[in-house]
Amino acid sequence: MNDKLKSADMMPGSFGLPFIGHTIEAFTKQELFYWQQYQQYGKIFKISLPEAIGFGKCACLIGPEANQFVLKDGADKLSSKLGNRSLEPIVSKDLVLLQDGAEHRASRKLILPIFHHQAIAAYFDTIQAVVTETVANWGKQGTISLETEMRKLTLSIAVRTFLGSAKTAEIDRVSQWYVTLVNSLDGMIKWDNLLTFYGRGQAARRQIADYIRQIIKERRRTPLSTSSCTESCSSRRY
């Protein structure tokens, strides 16, 4: 068995320049960088990103078979926590992506019901309405950034379905907080001050948390009606 194992150095791709690896390409091109690597090397390739922001030497696996291996077949042989350590500055350490082993399996079991097909079906009308409205507006804007618009679309759906808000101002505000939070991953200086990317991301993280707490308080003050509760609960049976 061990005779069949190969060194990581034999993996297609490269680790880029000394010390900085593929930092410049990855952060300037973003998704395009990975697409170009995939086109050149195929479904499996190696890259190198800064250790300072939680990466280092990485193996990239592309495609449904890779997802099945990482998330299911080989899950016990891989560390979700190490693989997602770059997210630590912007998310809770209790996030399922930062857990391994029995803890990871227990957390996944808790959240699976909200992704059951019956639960998702209950959100379909909302999702369809948001998509139809968003796509209709694209035609009025001329040239658009597809990445930016798809991110806004995803956030609009999340805010309406999971947080229950249909107000444009609230959706835009949460979207901006989220974008600021994600962009803070590029910050090399981990100083919680508004002068830094990281600091602005941490401020956005606190604003999102406060917003969600406020929604929880409002829901507790105004419980769901019996009919709404019955419909909501029935949609989650499996």
pLDDT of 111-127, one tens digit each? 777 777 777 777 888 88
The pLDDT of 24-52, averaged and rounded, is 86
* CA neighbor of 178 nearest in space, from 144, 140, 204, 139: 204
Both tokens of residue 196? 């830094």
Among the residues of 114-196, which ranges form H helices? Answer: 117-122, 124-138, 146-162, 168-183
Among the residues of 69-123, which ranges form H helices? Answer: 80-83, 101-111, 117-122
- Least reliable range by pLDDT among 11-15, 70-74, 185-189: 185-189
CB atoms within 10 A of CB 199: 17
Q: What is the average pLDDT score of the chain?
A: 78
H-run or E-run covering 56:
strand 56-61
- pLDDT at residue 69 tops 90: no
pTM of the model: 0.56
In this prediction, residue 54 carries a pLDDT of 60
d(C-alpha 23, C-alpha 30), whole Å: 10
d(C-alpha 96, C-alpha 81), whole Å: 9
pLDDT of 124-167, one tens digit each? 888 888 888 888 888 777 888 887 788 778 888 887 877 766 67
- pLDDT at residue 219 tops 60: yes
pLDDT of 186-210, one tens digit each? 777 778 888 888 889 889 989 988 9
Neighbouring residues of 237: CB distance < 8 A, sequence distance ≥ 6:
118
